[in-house]
Amino acid sequence: MDLNRITPRYTVSPQIAVEDVPALAEAGFTLVICNRPDGEVPPELQAETIGAAVRAAGMEFAVLPVTHDGLTLDLVAEQAALIENAPGPVFAYCRSGTRCATVWAMGQAGKMPTDDILLATAKAGYALDGMRPTLNAIAERG
């Protein structure tokens, strides 16, 4: 499992399997967010299967699938609220981790400087410089 820490409170990775869940619990994560649509994966990697293992390990589980057409500001706000209200560190996954990093970045726009957002994602291995205009536009909207 490839854990990519964006902040002390938010870590992302590519797709996980049931076998990875105990390590997430041991690492202290309190909430796992699935940003990958079930249509992209076989049954053993779908949200229901992973979610059951996550809950059995004592963590919370949320499903917020992100597609190119389905990345809305409402979804961004919902994920930002989940992260903010989680009792501890949050782990999110998708195919590569990029969607999870993108949703986080959009949720931070206006809360922290765009340069800091892009630096945090880059340090975690996600170069999102092309999002600068989008992040600035979200920040300007308030």
Domains along the sequence of the chain with CATH: 4-141 (3.90.190.10)
Interval 5-52: pLDDT, tens: 999 999 999 999 999 999 999 999 999 999 999 999 999 999 999 999
Q: What is the mean pLDDT of residues 75-99?
A: 98
Q: Which residues of 51-90 are buried (b: 16+ CB within 10 A; e: fewer)?
A: bebbeebebbbbbbbbeeeebeeebbebbbebbeebeebb
What is the torsion angle, in degrees rounded to the nearest 10, for the CA atoms of residue 76, residue 31, residue 114 and residue 134? -20
Tell me the percentage of the chain whose pLDDT exceeds 70.
Answer: 100
What CA–CA distance (Å, rounded) separates 32 from 60?
6
pLDDT average, residue stretch 112-132: 98
The pair phi, psi for residue 104, each rounded to 5°, is -60, -45
> Among 51, 117, 105, which residue's Cα sits nearest to residue 80?
105
